[in-house]
Amino acid sequence: MNKLLRFGKIAKGGMAIAAAFISGLANGLFGGGAGTLVVPSLKIFRGLDQKEAHATAISVVLPLSVFSTVYYTLSGNASWSYFLPVGSGVVIGGALGALLLAKVPKKVLTLVFYLVMIYAGVRMIAL
């Protein structure tokens, strides 16, 4: 039984490592989406609760995003004129989202967001 437990622990560690690698790969290839992979991985393979997983995921995604941003900038994909409007929108929206979080029905919103994600995926393939 002890052996089985130990095997389970190692297997979970291995899956966590694989999930980390895939998250980095996806984030670099697509320019985002790592958080959506890292949060459930931390919950399932490391046993963190939702809040811890979310907070820890940011500390994982931040270095990733810095690395990939530097790479995309150096490889000539930067359009600085787009940065100001989008960046200021994200900062204002981010603050708004954090404030709204306590006030909106999160279950409904989450469900709608996942459906929008699938729809956006279909549109991106068909574009």
Interaction residues for other proteins, span 75-94 (CB under 8 A): 75, 77-79, 81-83, 85-94
Backbone angles phi, psi at 21, to 5 degrees: -60, -45
Q: What token pair was written down for 113?
A: 């967001």
The rounded distance, in Å, linking the Cα atoms of 49 and 52 is: 5
For other proteins, which residue of 4, 5, 51, 108 counts as binding (CB under 8 A)? 51
Q: Is 36 in the site for other proteins (CB under 8 A)?
A: yes
The rounded distance, in Å, linking the Cα atoms of 53 and 56 is: 5
The nearest distance, CB 6 to other proteins, in angstroms, is 17
The rounded distance, in Å, linking the Cα atoms of 104 and 106 is: 6
Determine the size of the site formed for other proteins (CB under 8 A): 92
Instruction: Specify whether the CB–CB gap between 34 and 67 falls below 8 A.
Output: no
Q: Is 109 in the site for other proteins (CB under 8 A)?
A: yes
Q: Is 98 in the site for other proteins (CB under 8 A)?
A: yes
The nearest distance, CB 11 to other proteins, in angstroms, is 14
